[in-house]
Amino acid sequence: MSPRLPRPAAAGRPAATSLTDTARRIIRLNYGFQLLFNLLWWMPVFYAYQKDAGLSDGQIFGIQSIYYVAFCLFEIPTGLIADRIGTRNCLRAGAVVMTAANLAPVFSASYTGFLVHFLAIAAGRSLTSGAASAYLYDGLRAEGCQEHYLRAEGTARALGLAAKVVCWPLVGPLMALAHPAPYVLSALSAAGSLACVMALPRAAVPAGARRTDTPGRAGRGRAAKRGRGGSPGEAKAALRCLASSPWLALVMVQGVAVFTLSRICQVNLFQPILLDHGIGEASHGGVLAAMTVAEAVGSARPQWLGRRLSPVAWVSVLSLALAGTLAGITLGGSWTVVVLLCLFAAAAGFAYPIQRKLVNDAVPDHAPRATLLSVESIVDRAVCALAAVAVGAYLSAGRLDALLWHSALATAVLLGAFQLVVRAERTRRRPREAAEPRTSEARPKAAV
């Protein structure tokens, strides 16, 4: 037997199982959905577009604040909806809402129109944020191909980022031909994502509605009965799951640093950082494209990190790398800043699929997976909303460098506290694992 066969699980190339036709179809359609659903052509120009429409800076950033809050609120019911009606149906609803949302500014380029646009974007994205990952994970597991999940998740993100690199430079010329072109093209892309969802197989069902330990008609009957338990039942089940699974809660908390740092830097601080270092607006598109390429490479190849550290440790190390690059930006010149921003994007790209797999692996069997993933998204965006308020205060006071240093220090302190809690949890579990060795093997202990 070739010595290359026993590859590590983190490498994303399992030797024991190969993809079934259904699993391959799920992965390919997921690629198409993730690429088209997230291809927002208006992203590089939405600020200038709203300024041209007559909105003030206060109105523009006020809408962004409302968007973050709305996203958190929408995540509460949409995760429950996904576990009740099925992740596939929830993805359909999200694609329909996203299509309509992107058309709102075309029909009403006003404050009201843009507010409706971003509220609908929040609703559409919240409908799919947990459902898409849950569908992919459950679909591959149902086919016995769960070892392929990490690579499928990372490659989907990488393809979406690559599409942005290709499409975003075209936005300026297209706007010169037709001013609303970015929003029309975004709507067409969302409609394409709906076509991908319609083609998805029915094989992948929500984990909360499936009873794999009870085969046959009786098992299906009990699963259906459980599915009629209603959204309150799924919410209670999710809360019970979090209360009884400290490891799941810890893994969710760890991902907050990655999401908040990457979101704030790549959306809210990207232009202020470049302008502060003398990089003009004409170069912003090229820098953003370079960052996107770096993130795409990292997302597509998380297995490059190897197995020297556990997945949890890798996410912590990458979070510290994100913080370190932010601090380094305050010390370098223009070219150093561009390089550090690309390294920042690459670290975020590596971290996202690893963190997503950690959370999915930590969700117990038969738990409402989409609801729990929505809980994670709520936590991420709630912290991001608070961070956005702080960012506005720092920038208004002209303290960009202080903001970057304080963000780095806060990240280091919080991750240090997280590691102490992880060690305490591991110590607490040792007696139980020693008494029940077979049961402990099934736990996500290796991830610690």
30-83, pLDDT tens digit by residue? 899 989 998 888 887 777 788 788 887 677 777 877 887 888 788 766 666 766
Contacts of 261 (CB under 8 A, 6+ apart): 319, 322, 323, 326, 348, 407, 411
Mean pLDDT, the chain, rounded, equals 76
**Is the pLDDT at 6 greater than 60, yes or no?**
no
The arrangement of secondary structure in 246-363+397-429+442-448, i.e. its CATH architecture, is Up-down Bundle (1.20)
Contacts of 152 (CB under 8 A, 6+ apart): 27, 30, 136, 140
Domain ranges of the chain: 9-210+219-235, 246-363+397-429+442-448
> Would you give the distance in Å from CA 329 to the centre of its chain?
25
Cα–Cα dist 306/85, whole Å: 38
Cα dist from 437 to 387, 419, 441, whole Å: 43, 24, 6
> What integer pLDDT is reported at residue 379 of this predicted model?
79
Per-residue tokens: 355: 């963190």
How many H-runs (helices) and E-runs (strands) does the chain carry?
A: 19, 0
Amino acid at residue number 112: T
Q: Which of 83-87, 256-260, 267-271 has the highest mean pLDDT?
A: 256-260
**Is the pLDDT at 230 greater than 80, yes or no?**
no
Contacts of 84 (CB under 8 A, 6+ apart): 227, 230, 231, 234
Cα dist from 170 to 64, 107, 183, 228, 319, whole Å: 25, 22, 13, 48, 33
Per-residue tokens: 343: 């390294």
> Do the two domains 9-210+219-235 and 246-363+397-429+442-448 of this chain adopt the same fold?
yes
**Residue showing tokens 């998380």:** 302
Helix extents (H) in 86-203: 87-107, 111-129, 131-142, 149-167, 171-177, 181-198
Q: Give the class (CATH, top level) of 9-210+219-235.
A: mainly alpha
Residue 418: other Cβ atoms inside 10 A: 19
73-126, pLDDT tens digit by residue? 887 666 667 667 777 888 899 999 999 999 999 998 889 999 999 999 988 988
Cα–Cα dist 423/95, whole Å: 42
337-379, pLDDT tens digit by residue? 889 988 998 888 888 888 888 887 877 777 777 677 777 777 7
> What integer pLDDT is reported at residue 370 of this predicted model?
67
